[in-house]
Amino acid sequence: MKSIVTLFAIAALSVVTTLRAQDETESASPSPSSAPLVEDKAAPLVEAPSSLRDSSPSPSPSATAAAKSKTTATTTEKSTEKKDAAADSAPATSKKKTMSTEKTEESSSSKMSSGPDKGNPESNVKRLENEWEASVMKKDASFVQARVSEDFIGVSSKGKRMNKSALVKEFKSDSDAYSSAKNSGLTVRAHGANVVVANGTAKEVGKTKDGRSFNRSYIWTDTWVMKGERWECVSSQVMLAHTR
């Protein structure tokens, strides 16, 4: 009997020990409620409403058109200002270039006319005759003053005899506006080393003071003499050959 009681006691103790072990195991393992949440990747994404993505109101068609119109007007205004500035500066630049060219031509003409004249007599006189006719177009009396001799005696196209003073006065009082004045058919002959006789035709085109157009041709003969180191015209005769 004592053995049976001992066996029951051992069995009860074993059961108790087993139950305690199970309780300890269950308390050590995490409970389902505390387990971490796992994201369900397969779940579809829900896109937020457009009103939440963009809280700013969309511009109305009329506002957009007004903005474009204002931008276009501003761009056009700036472009116009640039063009106006370029237009304003262009005439000034052109004027400066023209004045510079005129000064260069006058300086070159003055230098050529003042001498000394070296080289072939015929070539020098031919050059001087063309300079003389060019001075008619520019109404520049400096050539006549520099290259006509003080003892000059000539006959004008109107059949009037004149000296250098009268020739310069007539030159300065000319009121015609010339668009062209050129020599043609030049014949230049040297008589010794100091005398050259030149003959040719001068054609002059332009308008009179009252606006009438003219086209005139003159036949002329000039006599040049070397004085010092310069050729000077001592005599001239001009005849009006054609006019219209």
Say if strands 230-243 and 148-155 run parallel, antiparallel, or are unpaired.
parallel
74-112 pLDDT per residue, tens: 555 555 555 555 445 444 444 444 444 444 444 444 455
- H-run or E-run covering 185: strand 177-190
Q: Which of 158, 144, 241 is CA-nearest to residue 200?
A: 241
**Residue 164 reports pLDDT greater than 70:** yes
Q: Among 45-49, 185-189, 228-232, name the one with the lowest average pLDDT.
A: 45-49
Residue found under tokens 């003071």: 209
Q: What pLDDT score does 232 carry?
A: 98
Q: What pLDDT score does 80 carry?
A: 52
- H-run or E-run covering 234: strand 230-243
Q: Within a 13 Å sphere around the CA of 34, how many CA atoms are in the beta-carbon half?
A: 5
Q: Which residues contact 128 (CB under 8 A, 6 or more apart)?
A: 113, 147, 224, 231, 233
How far out from the chain centre does Cα 148 lie?
44
